[in-house]
Structure 1
Amino acid sequence: MNPLGGLHRIRAGVLDLAFHASGPQDGPPVVLLHGFPYDVHSYEEVAPRLAAQGCRVLVPHLRGHGPTRFLAADTPRSGEQAALGADLLAFMDALALPRAVLAGYDWGGRAACVVAALWPQRCRGLVSVNSYNIQDIPHAGEPDTPEAERRLWYQYYFHTERGRRGLAQNRRALAHLLWREWSPTWAFDPACFERSAPAYDNPDYVEVVIHSYRHRYGIVPGDAAYAAIEQQLAAQPRIAVPSLTFDGADDGVRPACAAAAHARHFSGPRDHDVVPGVGHNLPQEWPEGFAAAVLRLARG
């Protein structure tokens, strides 16, 4: 039996979106959103904890991952932040969810932050790894410290055609390397990785990933359908909903920081914690704590 619950499909915006559902239909809804290069299995220990506590747990496969597919061949395979946020909103609309707790990390955390910032009436509460996860694209060309730049080598690699071909040829090997670098204290076994690896076989995976890492630096244009959303995100809108934010103390790509580093982006109640012994894939490395945070907001 799948700990994430049954697999379902629904037409949501431009996607035939695949998702897992568990828990009672009338329970408080929570949406758990995975990152790159991971998949829904980041929540294989979080989802059953929440379902057992009476939550309606929804775990979608993001665009370009797993069994999720685009409805039309001519839809741009965008990976920009506005597209991820729009997908989440369309998913909630398709399921007739007026509000939900939104929780995620990496790409999924970005989608959750976008909806929490721009459509706060749809977000009962936010759980976000790495705090404010909306990209400041107008200032993306500003250099960071050499150490921070070194951590982003894969992004610069994806800016090149060599990087595109490398991702296409080495999907699993590249993901495995990033798992190790980003979570150096997480002793995941081969079986754990192999449960997630089929998500990278999605036919749109390479195009969506490459677009994501080029668009965030202004190298390529976005999908015109999301231009209005991107314009709003360029203003770095504040998040007013109740928020619980976390950093993994051993995160190899987004180093942990104090709550004050992102405080200006939150206008509502927010608690922030740094979790020792945990890296970038926080829900899978610390499922009990992540589930407790989601449950706190779902019951609040």
Structure 2
Amino acid sequence: MRIQEIVIRTDRLDFPALTAGDGPVVVCWHGFPDHPMTFAPLARHLVTYGRRVVMPFLRGFHPATVDALHYSDSITLAADAAAVAQALGEPVDMIGHDIGAGMVGRVAAAWPDRLNRGVTLAVPPPAALAKVFEDPAQLQRLFHMFLFAVDGVAEAVLNTDRRLVDYLWATWSPRLVLDAEHKARIHAMYGDEKYLDNVLKIYRANFDPSRFDPALVDRGGRTEAVASKPLLVLGGGDDGCLDPRHFAGPHDGLAPGSEVEVLPRVGHFLHLEQPDTVAERVLDWLSR
């Protein structure tokens, strides 16, 4: 599979992206601490079945956009995904993982005309997550969110060394053996203090409304609501980030026709751990 880098020009920002294949577009959005190339094993299956896979870098996570994260809230990132879809010839299929999963869920809710079929990996859409913060054990799993919110402490932890990045990968996907090439890729990305600063901006926007784009605030009531389009929601039974119990009954926050499945013996990075299984579920969903 030949992967090349392109630039997707939108009315919001020019987004660097990796792409492979030809055919109907599937846009894949990554999360943290991650890189678009984590989608490569899944992309090989999609390309084989006649799809063009586009894997953009989140705003602020490529040298060309590292200084462009002026607003870092989740609605801003979702608006980016909607703009990329429009530029690629909306509606498009989308797959999102982690932060990217929230982006896809919010596009389905607030920009449904930009989305054809949507898949979220490892994180259900926003409207399905209401009870997560009522679970003390789950809050412990999300310690990084609260660590990142503490000014000065987070910078000290992340900028001193990058062992926290390795720890998150190891605890979120305990069965995964990360190959040396991809581990080096992750370390190269998060070894840059500018990218780490952008990580903190995104996490701090969860608790700091001053980081919201005022031009998009009116979208908030829609992005956090139940989407009008059904979604495929896939989780990992061994996910150390989000307890699989929170995937068991999220239908209250999903449109009719949505499907939820927790895959056994796989963690948070399920599309890297079991690309064959994830591809089978995704291709079936996208073909309907």
Q: What TM-score do you get using the length of structure 2 for normalisation?
A: 0.89
Q: Distance in 1 between matches of 2:196 and 2:127?
A: 21
Relative to 1, partners in 2 of residues 1:52 and 1:76: Cα closer, same or farther, differing over 3 Å? closer
1:195 lines up with 2:185 in the alignment: yes
Q: Distance in 2 between matches of 1:167 and 1:225?
A: 32
TM-fit CA distance, 1:62: 0.9
1:243-262 paired onto structure 2 within 5 Å: 243-257=231-245, 261-262=249-250
Q: Distance in 1 between matches of 2:174 and 2:56?
A: 27
Q: Distance in 2 between matches of 1:215 and 1:229?
A: 16
Residue from 56, 59, 66 that aligns with 2:62: 66
TM-fit CA distance, 1:68: 4.6
TM-fit CA distance, 1:197: 2.6
TM-fit CA distance, 1:8: 0.7
Q: Distance in 2 between matches of 1:265 and 1:129?
A: 16
User: In the alignment, which residue of structure 2 is the partner of 1:155?
Assistant: 145
Q: Distance in 1 between matches of 2:5 and 2:69?
A: 26
Q: Distance in 2 between matches of 1:208 and 1:230?
A: 22
Relative to 1, partners in 2 of residues 1:42 and 1:76: Cα closer, same or farther, differing over 3 Å? closer
TM-fit CA distance, 1:242: 3.3
Give unpaired runs (5+ residues) of structure 2.
none
Q: Distance in 2 between matches of 1:134 and 1:220?
A: 20
Root mean square deviation, CA, Å? 2.6
Q: Distance in 1 between matches of 2:178 and 2:252?
A: 36
1:182 lines up with 2:172 in the alignment: yes
Give percent identity, aligned residues only: 27
Q: Secondary structure of 1:268's match?
A: coil
1:280-299 paired onto structure 2 within 5 Å: 280-299=268-287
Q: Deviations over 1:212-271 (max 9, x none)?
A: 2222134754222332223433xx321232321111000001011376521111123122
User: In the alignment, which residue of structure 1 is the partner of 2:38?
Assistant: 42
Residue from 108, 112, 125 that aligns with 1:133: 125
Question: How many residues are aligned here?
Answer: 287
Residue from 47, 51, 68 that aligns with 1:51: 47
1:164 lines up with 2:150 in the alignment: no
User: In the alignment, which residue of structure 2 is the partner of 1:100?
Assistant: 92
Residue pair 2:128, 2:251 contacting (<8 A) in 1 also: no
Relative to 1, partners in 2 of residues 1:136 and 1:121: Cα closer, same or farther, differing over 3 Å? same
Q: Deviations over 1:166-195 (max 9, x none)?
A: 22343x322111101111121223333113
Q: Letter of the aligned partner of 1:168 in structure 2?
A: N
Q: Letter of the aligned partner of 1:147 in structure 2?
A: A
Q: Secondary structure of 1:257's match?
A: helix
1:76-115 paired onto structure 2 within 5 Å: 76-95=69-88, 97-115=89-107
Q: Secondary structure of 1:57's match?
A: strand
User: In the alignment, which residue of structure 1 is the partner of 2:205?
Assistant: 215
Relative to 1, partners in 2 of residues 1:76 and 1:186: Cα closer, same or farther, differing over 3 Å? closer
Q: Secondary structure of 1:128's match?
A: strand
Relative to 1, partners in 2 of residues 1:4 and 1:176: Cα closer, same or farther, differing over 3 Å? farther
Relative to 1, partners in 2 of residues 1:210 and 1:105: Cα closer, same or farther, differing over 3 Å? same
TM-fit CA distance, 1:57: 1.0
Q: Letter of the aligned partner of 1:167 in structure 2?
A: L
Residue pair 2:148, 2:204 contacting (<8 A) in 1 also: yes
Residue from 101, 118, 126 that aligns with 2:110: 118
Relative to 1, partners in 2 of residues 1:224 and 1:204: Cα closer, same or farther, differing over 3 Å? farther
Q: Letter of the aligned partner of 1:102 in structure 2?
A: M
Residue pair 1:127, 1:245 contacting (<8 A) in 2 also: yes
| Higher mean C-alpha deviation, range 84-93 or range 237-246 | 237-246
Q: Secondary structure of 2:126's match?
A: coil
TM-fit CA distance, 1:125: 1.1
Q: Distance in 1 between matches of 2:35 and 2:215?
A: 26
Q: Distance in 2 between matches of 1:230 and 1:223?
A: 11
Residue pair 1:4, 1:43 contacting (<8 A) in 2 also: no
Q: Secondary structure of 2:181's match?
A: helix
